[in-house]
Amino acid sequence: MGAVAGPEIERLVQLLARLPGLGPRSARRAALHLIKKREALMMPLSSALQVALDKVQVCKTCGNIDTQNPCTVCTDPKRDPAIIVVVADVADLWALERANATQGRYHVLGATLSPLDGVGPQDLTIDALVARAHDSQVHEIILALNATVDGQTTAHYITDLLQDANVKVTRLAHGVPVGGELDYLDEGTLSAAMRQRTLF
């Protein structure tokens, strides 16, 4: 089948198709929608993308992304400086914020250790975390890492490095999710829930 649109539109489709969750067909639909809603959607989106390109930066303290540096979370006076929540990625930080799960501060590693993918300790911000953990204000490091092999390997590696810091190192509970039915859970989740049972 030949091209149905000019190269400029094809380029828009190709760029949209690179976004997570958008395949070629979804990208075509999105491009067509943007073009049809040029005034209401495409122009404001173009402007917002340019502003993000110009102003978004990585927080020098925690690794979050924001338009100010240090970021909004790090400069919030209501945050508890005694608690640092360690996450692998900014998406995890945003998820915890959506859930209003903590009033602590954050530290974004950038990824998790993954020898198969060539990600080693030098590729993460672990040294900066260890330095922050030695601050006298910090009393607890919460390892909010994925319950995957790579996530848990990273958690163990960090825990070993923090042994001489005067901080409590904790991790997220593993087990039955809220609203979860036992019959639908995998064996690993069930056994973790049984091991980490709590008083009722």
Could you give the CA distance from residue 90 to residue 96 in angstroms, rounded to a whole number?
A: 10
> For 99, what's the count of Cα atoms within 13 Å in the CB-facing half-sphere?
8
Q: Please give the pLDDT value at position 194.
A: 86
CB 168 within 8 A of CB 140: yes
Q: Please give the pLDDT value at position 178.
A: 82
3-state SS of the chain: helix, strand, coil percent to 5? 45, 15, 40
Is the predicted pLDDT of residue 4 greater than 80, yes or no? no
Which residue has tokens 């590696």? 157
Entry pTM? 0.84
Tens digits of residue pLDDT in 54-86: 999 999 999 999 999 999 999 999 999 999 999
Strand stretches in 48-158, DSSP E: 57-58, 65-66, 80-87, 104-108, 140-143
Is the predicted pLDDT of residue 105 greater than 90, yes or no? yes
Which residue has tokens 């338009």? 67
Give 185's pLDDT tier (boundaries 50, 70, 90): confident
Q: Please give the pLDDT value at position 191.
A: 86
Could you give the CA distance from residue 72 to residue 59 in angstroms, rounded to a whole number?
A: 9
Tens digits of residue pLDDT in 110-153: 999 998 899 999 999 999 999 999 999 999 999 999 988 999 99
Phi-psi region of 177 (alpha: psi -120 to 50; beta: other; left: phi over 0): beta
Cα 161 to chain center, whole Å?
Answer: 22
63, with CB counted inside 10 A (0-12, 13-18, 19+), is buried
Structure tokens at 179: 């609203």
Q: Is 151 helix (H, G, I), strand (E, B) or coil?
A: helix
Structure tokens at 194: 């049984």
Tens digits of residue pLDDT in 13-57: 999 999 999 999 999 999 999 999 999 999 999 999 999 999 999
Could you give the CA distance from residue 111 to residue 197 in angstroms, rounded to a whole number?
A: 30
More confident residue, 181 or 114: 114
Tens digits of residue pLDDT in 160-179: 999 999 999 999 888 888 88
Rounded to an integer, the average pLDDT of 88-101 is 94
Instruction: Enumerate the β-bridge partners of residue 114.
Output: 119
Q: Please give the pLDDT value at position 2.
A: 53
Angle, CA 96 vertex, CA 146 and CA 106 arms, to 5°: 85
Could you give the CA distance from residue 18 to residue 24 in angstroms, rounded to a whole number?
A: 9
Provide the 8-state DSSP code for 176. P
The domains found in the chain, sorted by start residue, are 66-171 (3.40.1360.10)
